[in-house]
Amino acid sequence: MIRAMVPVLLALVVACGGSAGKVDQAVTIAKEIREKPDEAEKILGAHQMTADQWEALMYEIASDPAMAEQFEAGLQKK
């Protein structure tokens, strides 16, 4: 029973870690963009991201209440 649960738990951990990682990355980028709005495109480039990918990430975060909350909280932190 425990053995059967291990893959499931691992998958959950990976999934949670994945979304948290995405949000963390988004928060990092967003803070940089807010500091230097005129260099938004350059900042995205430095993070190997295009504007389309950034928009897709924003859509993904916005659609998930937990991620959106985490994103909002992350931006409020100094």
Interface contacts to other proteins, rule CB under 8 A: 26, 30, 33-34, 37-41, 44, 51, 54-55, 58-59, 61-63, 65, 67-69, 71-72, 75
- Decide whether 13 or 66 has the Cβ nearer to other proteins: 66
Q: Which two tokens stand for residue 13?
A: 């951990």
- Decide whether 8 or 76 has the Cβ nearer to other proteins: 76
Q: Provide, rounded to whole angstroms, the least separation between the CB of residue 13 and other proteins.
A: 23
Q: Provide, rounded to whole angstroms, the least separation between the CB of residue 8 and other proteins.
A: 25
Q: Provide, rounded to whole angstroms, the least separation between the CB of residue 20 and other proteins.
A: 14
Considering only CA atoms, which of 25, 69, 23 is closest in space to residue 43? 25
Q: Which two tokens stand for residue 74?
A: 């992350």
Q: Which residues contact 20 (CB under 8 A, 6 or more apart)?
A: 70
Return left, alpha or beta for 19; rule: phi > 0 is left, psi -120 to 50 is alpha, else beta. Answer: alpha
